[in-house]
Structure 1
Amino acid sequence: MSVSMTLTAGAMWVSARPIRRALARDDYLDTLDPGRRPAEPPARLRRSGRVVVSREGGLPVYRYEPAARTPGLELMYLPGGGLVNPLVAEHWWIIERLARATGAAITVVCYPLAPDHGADDTLAVIDAQYERLAARAGTSRLWVAGDSAGGALAVGLALRASRRPDALVLFSPWLDLALENPAIARRVRCDPSLRVPGLRAGAAAWAGERGLGDPALDPARVDPTGLPPTLLFQGGRDIFFDDAVAFARRADAAGAPVRLITAPAGFHVYVGAFWTPESRSAFAEVGALARATQPAMT
């Protein structure tokens, strides 16, 4: 583990205190800002490529085309936020580095959120955007990536899509929405940001009458057999860590090509700490997968 990751994790005990305290409350949903909105793309992205913003049902869809582009590679990004919070500024750090690593044109989908919207609304928007990308002229490879709750949505999409994604990239995905793993009680002592009560409340509101046991919603209950090549990045200080290990084992037993890469000192979505060796290594792995799966020139 690097010194910079250890120091960053330590700093998060201070910087993430408001998030931690809010998520520790059973009434977490009451603390949400009713005016919360997705963070706009930073100006630097417009200097390093092309940014196009459209709207679908009142929600923004952002498309970033880097100047150094890999022809034919499209990537849909699903940001996390506990199913209740929108894209934040830090997500753009991840999106920018994904584009650098892969050369992909990245479509960032801001999906409907609980408690105002349920799972059916969310999945309908995600599926429609994915089908648009799949039908886009010139698309030869289509990847899906996501962090935290967005990672859970990415897994579900990959298993139900009529055209399977060519690859998945999962950053600290939330792989058991019910948070039933007994190892969480031990892991939470070293997690500087996440707490169970608020996360579970958000998931329950999102699932609604379908319930958290619905295998179409919860990756912990799906058959991973049909997954495409998948990179799963998880930090050892994250309460989702043990669920990531369990998911990777299930995938291996099913013959699904899921590779789990861990950072012992990493916190939730540690890849966002782009100044650390662990984050740079993660994006190098993503870039290597993009190059390894590039179609041969004819």
Structure 2
Amino acid sequence: MPSRRHALLAFAVPRIRGSRELDSPVQERARIEVRHTAWGQVQPDLPSRRIRGFDKDVAVLTETVTGPAGDFPAYVLTPRGVSITRTLFYVHGGGFVAPMDRTHVVYATRLARELGARVVMPAYPLAPEHTAHDSHEALADLASRWARQGPLVLAGDSAGGGYALALAQTLRDRGGPQPSHLLLISPWVDLTTSTPETEALDSIDPWLSLSKLRSYAEWWAGSSDALRSPEASPALADLDGLPPALMFCGTRDLLVAGCRLLADRAAGSTWDLTYVEEPDLIHVYPILPLIPEAREAFRRTLEFLR
């Protein structure tokens, strides 16, 4: 049974995040574009600006990544006082329309400190102004470069989890140094949202909205015809030869249908995927602060990655 703190977050987070049904794709697109203009699209100074005292504990450097649509930043966050032995390449969630926020940065740097790792967090260009094509190959290049320097863990939550899986498939297909592990937290891995149970899940997820996800998916893929492409829906692509992976999802999460599909397809492949599905827990519960369910997921994550 979920904890009381989880129940409180399940009530509060959707309200804090402004979750609501889609008015119309046109209105939603306009609202997001206005927000991106106010944010500067990717919030390039977010890691230090949004976290009080952050620079005292973590050294922050910014790399410039060049993609087809222009340059965007990737942050290299190195915990101070830690012997660095590997890199955690963390792709943030947000439905491909929202930039990384405090929760992503705090979780990734906490995990890195425990693992003796630096964190690389790309602030990839967002939909609806941009598609996966505008950053995918550039991020694969960046991850490959870090993998050549030492062990690399490829991780992400929600949309970022799906992106991380798609990047792992690209790195596998290219050859060369590979990630040692994959960490997928409530990943969005099937942008077609075609699994039969998806409609029923929409009624019990307090946070995500199927109507919004369908618009976000098409914007990110670039068209409805591209929704099944490996860059958009890695759950539908070849899974053989991927690094060992750990995946979490709760059953009050609209994305659990895609996670189950991925786990079923992995069972028929050579991929070593461990799937942890927790009853009645909400979207990205492992990265939510101050709940016992997240602490247990963190323990399992450290056990897997160590």
Q: How does 1:53-202 map to 2 (within 5 A)?
A: 53-57=62-66, 58-136=71-149, 139=150, 141-161=151-171, 162=175, 163-202=177-216
Structure 1 segments of 4 or more deviating over 6 A? none
1:34 paired residue number: 36
1:268 counterpart residue number = 283
Asked if structure 2 preserves the Cα contact closer than 8 Å seen for 1:24 and 1:198, the reply is no
CA contact (8 A) 1:97 1:283 kept: no
Counterpart residue type for residue 10 of structure 1: F
State the AA in 1 paired with 2:305.
A
Aligned residues: 286
> Following the alignment from structure 1 to structure 2, what is the Cα–Cα distance between the partners of residues 222 and 175?
10
Q: Deviations over 1:166-220 (max 9, x none)?
A: 1000111001111112212211222121112222212212222561122343123
What is the TM-score with the length of structure 2 in the denominator? 0.86
1:68 and 1:169, CA in 2 relative to 1: closer, same or farther beyond 3 A? Answer: farther
- Distance change >3 Å, CA 230–CA 105, structure 1 → 2: same
Aligned-pair distance for 1:26?
3.1
The answer (yes or no) to whether the contact 2:132–2:231 under 8 Å persists in 1 is no
Q: How does 1:246-261 map to 2 (within 5 A)?
A: 246-261=261-276
> Whole-Å Cα distance in 2 between the matches of residues 241 and 54 of structure 1?
34
- For 1:113 and 1:82, locate their aligned partners in 2 and report how far apart those are by CA, in whole Å: 9
Unaligned runs of 5+ in 2: none
Could you tell me how far 1:87 is from its partner in structure 2?
1.2
Aligned equivalents of 1:177, 1:130: Cα separation in 2: 23
Whichever residue aligns with residue 124 of structure 1, its letter is E
| Separation (CA, whole Å) in 1 of partners of 2:82 and 2:276 | 26
- Measured in 2, the distance between the counterparts of 1:70 and 1:283 equals 20
Q: Secondary structure at the match of 1:64?
A: strand
**For residues 12 and 216 of structure 1, what CA distance do their matches in structure 2 show?**
29
What 5-or-longer segments of structure 1 have no aligned partner?
292-298
Q: 1:70 to 1:168 in 2, by over 3 A?
A: farther
| 106 and 3 in structure 1: CA distance in 2 versus 1, 3 angstrom threshold | same
Give the SS at the match of 2:74. strand
TM-score (norm 1): 0.88
The amino acid that maps onto 1:55 is: T
The whole-number CA distance in structure 1 between the counterparts of 2:58 and 2:36 is 33
1:37-68 deviations in Å (ceiling 9; x for gaps): 44511243322232212333442211111135
